[in-house]
Amino acid sequence: MDKKELIMGIDPGTKITGYGIIEKRGSSYLLIESGVIKPSYNLSVNDRYLKIFHSLELLIKKYDPISIAIETQFVKKNIQTAIKLGMARGVAIIAAANNNIPVYEYAPKKAKLAVVGNGMASKEQVQKMVKMLLNINKNISFDEADALALAICHSHKVEVNYV
């Protein structure tokens, strides 16, 4: 039996980290799993990073994706928020590197363009299109949708590389 070529998308954050794992099947996609990692608000920031790391490691070991797509950081007005977001991104990158999984980074606009056709699409539009592309009938969070959009965005790159 051939190994499934799964792609994991990660939308990092210290409060909520979205993740999604898909399989590309021809011109369609199959949702394998998606969700969010929400460390307890009672934890210190360092313990939140550790929770994110351990949770991502478990997912990586369970699904063994061929690659991980992660959102690039954009500078926010609040420098402390930007630093914390950068740390969450670093945790995700280290979890991937610790498991020898290549990481690809995409700007939010590129992921939006890949799923909606508009780099300035709203979170609601991304969520709606991700649900349609993956035939999801349940509600999913914006963080989940963003992670899945990153995985779909990367699947376009993978398809080009295999041709």
The question of whether 146 is a catalytic residue gets the answer no
Please give the backbone phi and psi of residue 105, each rounded to the nearest 5 degrees, phi first.
-110, 140
**Measured between alpha carbons, how far is 94 from 76 in angstroms, rounded to an integer?**
23
The question of whether 64 is a catalytic residue gets the answer no
Which residues 6+ apart lie within 8 Å of 40 measured at CB?
Answer: 51
Cα pseudo-dihedral 123, 129, 133, 136, rounded to 10: 70
Of the residues 105, 143, 146, 159, which is catalytic?
143
Which residues 6+ apart lie within 8 Å of 39 measured at CB?
Answer: 14, 15, 47, 48, 51, 52
Of the residues 2, 11, 57, 124, which is catalytic?
11
The question of whether 47 is a catalytic residue gets the answer no
Of the residues 2, 47, 57, 71, which is catalytic?
71
**Measured between alpha carbons, how far is 34 from 16 in angstroms, rounded to an integer?**
13
CB of 80 closer than 8 Å to CB of 7: no
Q: For residue 55, how many other CB atoms are within 10 A of its CB? A: 19
Question: Catalytic site residues?
Answer: 11, 71, 143
